[in-house]
Structure 1
Amino acid sequence: MAGAASVPPVVELRGASKTHPGPVHALRAVDLTVEPGELLAIVGPSGSGKSTMLNIMGTLDRPTTGTVHVAGRDVGALSDAQLSALRARHIGFVFQHFHLSAGRDAVDNVCDGLLYAGVGLRERRARARTALERVGLGHRLGHRPTELSGGEKQRVAIARALVGAPDLLLADEPTGALDTASGKIVMELLHELNAAGTAVCVITHDHDIADSLPRRVRFRDGEVVDDSGRACSRLPEVGA
Structure 2
Amino acid sequence: MNAQTSVVHLTGVSRLYPGHPPVRALDGVSLSIEPGEMVGIVGPSGSGKSTMLNILGTLDRADSGVVRIDGHDVAELADRQLSALRAWRIGFVFQQFFLSPGVSALDNVADGLLYTGMSLRKRRSQARTTLEHVELGDRTHHKPHELSGGQRQRVAVARALAGRPSLLLADEPTGALDSTSGAAVIKLLHELHDAGTTIVVITHDHDVAKELPRQIHILDGKIESDERARQP
Q: TM-score, normalised by structure 1?
A: 0.92
Aligned equivalents of 1:153 and 1:137: distance in 2?
10
Structure 1, unmatched stretches of 5+, are none
Alignment partner, residue 162 of structure 1: 161
Alignment partner of 1:228: what SS? strand
* One-letter amino acid matched to 1:55: N
Aligned equivalents of 1:99 and 1:43: distance in 2?
23
Aligned equivalents of 1:141 and 1:87: distance in 2?
25
Alignment partner, residue 9 of structure 1: 6
Structure 2, unmatched stretches of 5+, are none
Alignment partner, residue 215 of structure 1: 214
Aligned equivalents of 1:157 and 1:44: distance in 2?
24
Q: Is the 8 A contact 2:3 2:9 kept in 1?
A: no
Q: CA deviation at 1:213?
A: 1.1
Alignment partner, residue 67 of structure 2: 68
How many residues were matched structurally?
229
* One-letter amino acid matched to 1:216: Q
Equivalent positions of 1:62-101 (< 5 A) are 62-101=61-100
Alignment partner of 2:99: what SS? coil
Alignment partner of 1:116: what SS? helix
Segment of structure 1 superposing worse, 108-117 or 42-51: 108-117
Q: Percent sequence identity over matched residues?
A: 61
Aligned equivalents of 1:172 and 1:231: distance in 2?
25
Aligned equivalents of 1:196 and 1:12: distance in 2?
22
Alignment partner, residue 105 of structure 1: 104
Q: TM-score, normalised by structure 2?
A: 0.95
Alignment partner of 1:133: what SS? helix
What's the C-alpha RMSD, in Å, of the aligned pairs? 1.7
Aligned equivalents of 2:111 and 2:91: distance in 1?
12
Q: Deviations over 1:73-98 (max 9, x none)?
A: 10100011111111211110100001
Q: Is the 8 A contact 2:3 2:68 kept in 1?
A: no
Structure 1's consecutive aligned runs of 4 or more residues displaced over 4 angstroms after TM superposition are 229-232
Alignment partner, residue 16 of structure 2: 19
Q: CA deviation at 1:231?
A: 7.0
Q: Deviations over 1:189-234 (max 9, x none)?
A: 00010111101111111111111111100011111111115876xx
* One-letter amino acid matched to 2:71: G
